[in-house]
A and B are shown apart, each in its own frame.
Chain A
Amino acid sequence: MVAALRFLFFALIVRPVVWVALGLNVRYRERLPRKGPAILAANHNSHVDTLALMSLFPLSMLHRLHPVAAADYFLSSKAFGWFARHIIGILPLDRDARERGDDPFAACREPLSRNNILILFPEGTRGEPEQMSTFKKGIAYLAEELPDVPIIPIFLHGFGKVLPKGDWVPVPFFCDVFVGLPLPRAGSPEAFMAALQSRMRMLSAEGQFPRWD
């Protein structure tokens, strides 16, 4: 029942919004994984980021897609939490876990072992629209632990204009999605982070984006 609701929500609302009301310019679509396990690592400017990334895959893969999202934000209220968990399909991430000595990615391992695709935003928050902030190192530890899971960097542009943080009225714009090659596994978390940052910079340099201030 919930799975059917989720399917209908994506088929009838999310996809028409993402593909018709907005419109995506996808570069290197062929680099998207055809099957899991895989981790998509994207920059984050808007709630629409998640929906757009999920719309890049066929609906038949919907049950395999899981955005990793902050538990403190998305599970703050009961109704919103139910929607986030069951309809969007988020895996809750405890942003303060590492400080307590716990594992923030506890909820991610099992879905990956079942060949699912995780969507991760290493910036940790949407931040200022259309500005990339520094990436948090958590993903590097995950990469080290799971050397066989491909991690694909994806650069997004325009979604912060569509629906910036703090706003609730979306405005149509064409948005860009540039898919990168899977990241090589570097020796150390620091080296992995450097590779991820530089790959994202390279992807963003491929586009020409108008000023937005």
Chain B
Amino acid sequence: MFDGVLPNVQWALTGLYGVLVVASALTFALVRLQPNRDFRELVLRVKSWWVMVTLFALAMALSPTVSLIFLGVVSFLALKEYLSLIPTRRADRRVLLWAYLAIPIQYYWIGAERYGFFIIWIPVYMFLLLPAIMVGHGNTQGFLRAAGSLHWGLMTCVFSLSHAAFLLVLPEEGNPAAGGAGWLLFLVVLTQANDVGQYLWGKMLGRTKAAPAVSPGKTVEGFLGGMATTTVLALLIAPYLTAFDWRFAAVAGLFIGFAGFIGDVTVSAIKRDLGVKDSGSLLPGHGGILDRVDSLTYTAPLFFHYVRYFYY
């Protein structure tokens, strides 16, 4: 079943399980050593990571088509979570169905390697189509709010995230070490590691609040520590997964750290605006799926264009 997968990608996926084993061992030790403290959320979090890594690794190992479908499902879950979270109008029920329909079409462009359609389908055509259908229903009360918030959701959950999927179909010539899957793994591993890094550095050294009005838990120390760890990690894994030399790897690490932070606080701002703590309850210990992919909505498009501009 791993036939089509390049050796470096197989090693990287195996490595993820190594990280999970270490994380589980550390959690187990913490629970044993400090029995009076409540580690339930941490335990749940690590458990959810096992499930997420397994689904991701399976999708990557089975075939490129399965990987695309997997990422399409992630977009669907994120958009569904977003639309369940925000106020919507009863009149727009069927418009939302059209918005969902944009997902398979967007991922179809990727599978067919139609970059031109991929890059304009949502920002141009869905942007024009959805308000047109809404107008057809004739309800002007709250029109701008509804059209605006729906498009924001599509851009974030579908358009932005699908850039991660387009990495998969980039030709192997541009990345002989690990192909399109290598670019994707590099992006996803660094983005998620950056989240964990910022959280851990913040817990250990956090003093100065980075965005008190939006996300009181975020600190400058966590942000900088996370960005540094991410950059070091980028330097370490780039030779195996990407075509980057050390300078390109360092720049990628730096902007993934920075953009990941912005993506995180952007979703936090929405949650704060709506008065909810988590975007959902799909991933025990993490919250919803938007809580997990928030950083990726910023890092994926930036990383994709960085790679495409310099290597294709």
A-side residues, CB < 8 A to B, are 23, 25, 129, 158, 161, 164, 167, 169, 171-175, 208, 210-213
Contacts and interface: CB of A to CB of B under 8 A. Distances in A.
B90 interface: yes
B84 A173 contact: yes
Contacts of B224: none
B274 interface: yes
A172 B80 contact: yes
A210 B45 CA distance: 27
Nearest to B142: A213
B50 interface: no
Given A25-B281, A173-B83, A174-B81, A213 B89 contact: yes
A158 B84 CA distance: 8
A167 B80 contact: no
Nearest to A27: B281
Given A158-B84, A173-B80, A212-B89, 7 more contacts: A23-B80, A129-B90, A164-B93, A171-B96, A172-B100, A174-B80, A210-B85
11 contacts: A25-B280, A161-B93, A169-B93, A169-B94, A171-B93, A171-B100, A173-B80, A174-B280, A211-B87, A212-B88, A213-B142
B86 interface: yes
B94 A171 contact: yes
A174 B84 contact: yes
Interface in B261-281: 274-276, 280-281
A208 B276 contact: yes
A25 B88 CA distance: 19
Given A164-B90, A167-B93, A169-B94, A208 B100 contact: no
Given A23-B282, A25-B281, A171 B97 contact: yes
Contacts of B5: none
A106 to B, nearest CB: 38
Interface residues of B, number: 24
Nearest to B77: A23
A91 to B, nearest CB: 31
Nearest to B85: A210
A171 B101 CA distance: 11
Contacts of A212: 87-90
Contacts of A23: 77, 80, 282
Contacts of B80: 23, 172-174
Interface string B73-112: 0001100110111111110011011001000000000000
Nearest to A22: B80
Contacts of A25: 280-281
A175 B281 CA distance: 11
B70 to A, nearest CB: 13
A169 B95 CA distance: 11
Contacts of A210: 84-88, 274
Q: Which 5 A-B pairs have the closest CB atoms?
A: A211-B87, A174-B84, A210-B87, A173-B84, A25-B281
Interface string B18-38: 000000000000000000000
A57 to B, nearest CB: 20
Contacts of B84: 158, 173-175, 210
Contacts of B77: 23
Contacts of B87: 210-213
Interface string B238-274: 0000000000000000000000000000000000001
A173 B99 CA distance: 13
A183 to B, nearest CB: 26
B28 to A, nearest CB: 25
Contacts of A129: 90
Contacts of B85: 210
Nearest to B82: A174
Interface string B143-158: 0000000000000000
Contacts of B281: 25
Contacts of B94: 169, 171
Contacts of B275: 208
B80 to A, nearest CB: 5
Nearest to A211: B87
A171 B99 CA distance: 11
